Amino acid sequence: SYPLDVEAIREQFPILGRKVGGDPETPGEGPDDTVPLVYLDNAATSHTPESVVEAICDYYRGYNSNVHRGIHHLSQEASVAYEQAHDRVAEFIGADGREEIVFTKNTTESMNLVAYAWGLSELGPGDSVVLTEMEHHASLVTWQQIAKKTGAEVRYIRVDEDGYLDMDHARDLIDDSTEMVSVVHISNTLGTVNPVSELADVAHEVGAYVFVDGAQSVPTRPVDVEEIDADFFAFSGHKMCGPTGIGVLYGKEHLLDEMQPYLYGGSMIRSVTYDDSTWEDLPWKFEAGTPPIAQGVALHAAVDYLDDLGMDKVQAHEDHLVEYAYDRLTEFDDVTIYGPPGDDRGGLVSFNLDSVHAHDLSSILNDHGVAIRAGDHCTQPLHDKLGAAASARASFYIYNTREEVDALVDAVDEARQLFA
Ligand code: PMP
């Protein structure tokens, strides 16, 4: 049996009951979809339970209105709901309160916000930013480009052969020049769970800040930003049962307080003259213009949904499936799996078949309704290091089953035999 009641969960996700295989250009018109969907692309985006869809519909049907500025009834209702969404997210990740929770578009924007608002003014020649070789482009490209603008140096903590960070190397690299250590919590390619709290200690010893990319961790396990002692922390709503169009930036209040805004405009100001402006309180100082209101309300519902399941159980379910998938895939001696062993990783597995390009493999899997991702998963330098242009990645979530892992493995086996 599973740590979660998978059958009951699946009922809340009608999309999982659909078939695929028809012409995507004319859904519902051309040849019918015929094969049942096996959705194993959750690290890219997760599906949305009924309660979250309903939260979006309730908002548009019942109290759609702009926030902050209206004194009419609907605007007040929308404002309260939008503010409460910040409170709920704060509670979910162990932050002190809404002042520390900025709603952005996604993890990428959260990263850019800090890189621009903090990095542009704080970094300069002689400073270093320390990343890891397994950073997602959201972090790697952002800090790389901010470093170019400011003259700071970017350093990369080595990933060893088993997919773990070389912590001795980390201690060497993080020195008095270091102003920021930006590290992915769970690698979206290797599945490695990084020792972020230990890295935070190393960074704090030299007076550097730590930015944790929690895009893959917040959806899949209990996370407490204060326990980690992260200075900044980012994640996306769409990977945790929420809608697209909303991400979160957590920042320690005193740091967000000291930072200048990233985007300017309405809603983020307190007073404006033709000559100058002053800023709104946190977090609104960082939420210029009309924010993602429906998405915020829906993210609240997504957090409620996950919390009701229990994040411990969500993690146990992920562990269960990824261990099973890892074991089954290692049955094939022509499969290379990247990253740590099956019993020590997040709920995803990236691999390659000796004889088949990941894209062709993905296409064969698609014929069986099995949705995985093929490519570099926005970790191109890491793939270069692994000596693979691309890999196939299966990623699991609360509604996935062992039978779906079997469907994946059977389809992989068929591809092996086809190309042998
Ligand atoms: N970091 C990691 C580890 C991710 O897996 C992703 C999504 N693939 C991102 C950042 C970027 O997330 P988003 O596209 O929602 O900005």
Tell me which residue has its CA closest to atom 12 in ligand 1.
Answer: 107
Tell me if 177 sits within 8 A of 128, measured CB to CB: yes
Is the CB of 184 inside a 6 Å radius of any atom of ligand 1? yes
β-pairing, 277-279 with 370-371? unpaired
Question: How wide is the angle at C-alpha 115 spanned by C-alphas 114 and 120, nearest 5°?
Answer: 115
Amino acid, res. 230: A
CA of 128 to the centre of ligand 1 (A): 23
For residues 315-324, b (16+ Cβ closer than 10 Å) or e, as one string?
bebbbbbbbb
CA of 224 to the centre of ligand 1 (A): 19
CA 389 to chain centre: 22
pLDDT at site 28: 67
Predicted confidence (pLDDT) at residue 29 exceeds the cutoff of 80: no
Q: How many CB atoms lie within 10 A of CB 151?
A: 11
Q: What percent of the chain has pLDDT over 90?
A: 95
Is the CB of 378 inside a 6 Å radius of any atom of ligand 1? yes
What does each C-alpha distance from 115 to 80, 129, 149 come to in angstroms? Answer: 30, 11, 11
Is the CB of 376 inside a 6 Å radius of any atom of ligand 1? no
Alpha-carbon distance of 49 to 46, in angstroms, equals 10
Is the CB of 104 inside a 6 Å radius of any atom of ligand 1? no
Burial bucket for residue 275 (CB in 10 Å: 0-12, 13-18, 19+)? exposed
Tell me which residue has its CA closest to atom 6 in ligand 1.
Answer: 215
**Known catalytic residue at 378:** yes
Q: What SS3 class is residue 181?
A: strand
CA of 361 to the centre of ligand 1 (A): 23
* pLDDT tens per residue, range 37-74: 999 999 999 999 999 999 999 999 999 999 987 789 99
What does the block give as tokens for 146?
């901010």
pLDDT at site 16: 97
Task: Please determine, looking at this structure, whether the domain spanning 52-308 carries the CATH number 3.30.460.10.
Answer: no
Is the CB of 189 inside a 6 Å radius of any atom of ligand 1? no
Is the CB of 362 inside a 6 Å radius of any atom of ligand 1? no
pLDDT tier at 30, thresholds 50, 70, 90? low
Q: What is the reported pTM?
A: 0.97
pLDDT tier at 85, thresholds 50, 70, 90? very high
pLDDT tier at 26, thresholds 50, 70, 90? confident
Predicted confidence (pLDDT) at residue 272 exceeds the cutoff of 70: yes
Peptide bond into 292 cis (omega under 30): no
* pLDDT tens per residue, range 315-327: 999 999 999 999 9
Alpha-carbon distance of 138 to 132, in angstroms, equals 13
Q: Which fold has domain 6-48+310-419?
A: Aspartate Aminotransferase, domain 1 (3.90.1150)
Q: What percent of the chain has pLDDT over 70?
A: 99
Average pLDDT, the chain: 97
pLDDT at site 154: 98
Alpha-carbon distance of 257 to 139, in angstroms, equals 22
- DSSP one-letter string for 293-350: HHHHHHHHHHHHHHHHH-HHHHHHHHHHHHHHHHHHHTT-TTEEEESS-TTSS-SEEE
Q: How is the chain split into domains, by residue range?
A: 6-48+310-419, 52-308
Q: What DSSP designation does 378 have? A: T
Kindly state the average pLDDT of the residues 225-247.
Answer: 98
At CB < 8 A and 24+ separation, what contacts does 262-269 make? 262/112, 262/113, 262/116, 262/117, 262/286, 263/288, 263/289, 264/288, 265/289, 266/69, 266/290, 267/67, 267/68, 267/69, 267/291
Is the CB of 379 inside a 6 Å radius of any atom of ligand 1? no
Predicted confidence (pLDDT) at residue 381 exceeds the cutoff of 70: yes
Tell me which residue has its CA closest to atom 5 in ligand 1.
Answer: 188
Kindly state the average pLDDT of the residues 239-256.
Answer: 98
Predicted confidence (pLDDT) at residue 8 exceeds the cutoff of 90: yes
Tell me which residue has its CA closest to atom 15 in ligand 1.
Answer: 106
Q: Which atom of ligand 1 is nearest to the CA of 44?
A: 8
CA proximity to 46, closest of 226, 274, 215, 197: 215
pLDDT at site 25: 83
* pLDDT tens per residue, range 151-191: 999 999 999 999 999 999 999 999 999 999 999 999 999 99
Q: How many CB atoms lie within 10 A of CB 28?
A: 8
Predicted confidence (pLDDT) at residue 338 exceeds the cutoff of 70: yes
Query: Among 41, 45, 108, which residue has the most ligand 1 atoms within 8 Å of its CB, making it the best to mutate?
Result: 108
52-308 matches 6-48+310-419 in CATH topology: no
Q: Which atom of ligand 1 is nearest to the CA of 247?
A: 15
What does the block give as tokens for 170?
């980390």
Is the CB of 136 inside a 6 Å radius of any atom of ligand 1? yes
pLDDT at site 31: 67
Q: Which atom of ligand 1 is nearest to the CA of 187?
A: 3
Is the CB of 38 inside a 6 Å radius of any atom of ligand 1? no
Kindly state the average pLDDT of the residues 319-342.
Answer: 98
Tell me if 184 sits within 8 A of 134, measured CB to CB: yes
Active-site residue, from 314, 358, 378, 407: 378
Query: Among 114, 188, 221, which residue has the most ligand 1 atoms within 8 Å of its CB, making it the best to mutate?
Result: 188
